[in-house]
Amino acid sequence: MSEPKGRVVTLDTKGDAVKIDDWLLEILVCPKCHSPVRVDEEASELVCTGADCGLAYPVRDDIPVMLVDEARDPAKG
């Protein structure tokens, strides 16, 4: 049995590599506007690709936290 393939996103605060499976990245969407998300490797976040949204969702312990209340709005600085 083969192991699922993942993508190394970045190092978390403990220095461990954060991994998100490719199949999961393909199905995740922004819960606010339903646009696809992209990986921001430097910030360890998944960022909405929607032109009017752009929320950044954290990845903690290899788990994307896809909650609007937990998201950072880069437009607000």
* CATH number for 69: 2.20.25.10
Residue 22 forms part of a structural domain: yes
CA 25, chain centre distance (Å) = 8
Neighbours of 57 (CB within 10 A): 22
Over range 49-67, report the average pLDDT: 94
Which domain range does residue 60 map to?
6-76
In single-letter form, the type of residue at position 22 comes to D
69 vs 11: which has the higher pLDDT: 69
H helix runs in the chain, sequence order: 22-27
Overall domain count for the chain: 1
- Sequence-distant (≥ 6) Cβ neighbours of residue 4 within 8 angstroms: 21, 23
Query: What one-character DSSP code corresponds to residue 65?
Result: -
pTM (two decimals): 0.77
Q: What is the pLDDT of residue 5?
A: 56
4: pLDDT strictly greater than 80: no
Residue 43 forms part of a structural domain: yes
Give CA–CA dist 75/15, Å, rounded.
Answer: 28
Residue 69 forms part of a structural domain: yes
Query: What is the pLDDT confidence band of residue 11, given thresholds at 50, 70 and 90?
Result: very low
Query: What is the pLDDT confidence band of residue 10, given thresholds at 50, 70 and 90?
Result: very low
